[in-house]
Structure formats: C-alpha cells, structure tokens
Amino acid sequence: MANGFRLYGFSLLLVQLLAACSPTKQEALPAADNNAANMTAKATQPIADGKLVVVFGDSLYAGYNLQQDQGFAPILEQALSKQGIKAHVVNAGVSGDTSADGLARLAFGLDGLPRKPDLVLVGLGGNDMLRGLSPQATRANIDAILTELDKRGIPAMLTGMMASPNMGPDYAAAFNPIYPDLAKKHGVPLYPFFLDGVIGQRSLLLPDGIHPNPQGVQRITAKVAPLVARQLGE
C-alpha cells in the first residue's frame, strides 16, 4: 500500500485521468467500450473447459482509446495463457461508469453470460471521486456489487483507486479505506491501486498523458495477472 500512497505526488495527473474516464458531449466513447455493451454476445463464444473471467469496471478496464486487442481484458487473457491457464476474459468495462452505474448493469450482464464466471474483477469508484460523490454512497454501491456476486457464488477480486489530494484530507480519509475495508469484509483479494507504477510515467501513457498506452497496460497486467491466477486456483 505504501507504493500507492507515494503516488500522491501525481495528483494532477490522477485528476486528469479520472476526468478523461467521464466522456463529454464532444467525446464519443472509444470503440473498445462496445465490447462491454456487447459482453453477452462476446461471452457466448465457445469457452470449452477454460475459465470464464469478467473484468467489470470503467475506462481503465475498457481499453480506452486502444485497439481491441490492446486493452486490459485481452492482455490479461494472454498473460494467463502464458502461465498455462486457459481462460476467456470478457471485457465489461464502460467509460464514465460510476459505482452506481456499475451496480445498475451488473445483474443484466451476469444473466446474459453462458455460465457462471469463475472470477469477476471489480474496478469502479474513480469517477465517483472525480465528481465528488459521497464516499459513503460509493462504498455502499461497491459493497452491493460484491454482495450480489457473493449471493451468486461468484468469486471476486477488487482493484482499488485512490482519492486525489486536491479532494482534501477528509474526503481521502473516507474514500481510500473503501477498497481494503470491502476486500476484508467480503474475503476477496485486493490490488490496492490499479495505476500503480504507470501514473506519471509518460512512456507508459497515451499521447494525452492520461490513460495507459499498450505498454502501460502490459505493466499493469504483469502485476495483476499473478493475483488473478492465484484466485483461479492455478
């Protein structure tokens, strides 16, 4: 967790990144987000005897402004394959989603899958922080998402976000504990800060200096994939 807190020095970049996660009227959602809208169609492809993994989050999961084979979901699938794990990773990331948006679409998305997932990664809350939404509401929404997965007997993993210092110490004190607290409550693994090692590194960001580029996605996935593999029981 200490590495994540050292990234507070990149507060302005983090604010910009989260702002970019929220599409404006002038900015259309990137093509990669269509994978999330059509996750049911994608997931109906043959899965055979492999694992079914769903990455459920915002633009950081969706593959913002990347080719469809460069985002987090396909790179995670490749990383798992290199570890000898046959897995089908479904992209359920939507740019601009808040935790409330994610909760609202969760049941529909799960009901459309061909079978119960072996793992759902949950990565939401960054847009809540950007908009200054109540951390208590964010906590309640993510708690409800994990509770629904619990009810369905679906293993989950949580990836965290951190409040930018410009939100003030009171907001950070309420927001930052959300992820470790809920991971402990639900007994799920936690990757504390999804952008650890990438934010502030220009060589790992898109030309906008905001979102991870393909190399940044590779860096993130290299850290997250071993935790995913462990959760899959491999």
Residues catalogued as catalytic: 59, 208, 211
Edge-first strand listing for the sheet containing 119-123: 87-93, 51-57, 119-123, 156-159, 190-191
Q: What are phi and psi of 168, to 5 degrees?
A: 95, 155
The residue to which tokens 């987000």 are assigned = 33
- Distance of alpha carbon 56 from alpha carbon 50, whole angstroms: 19
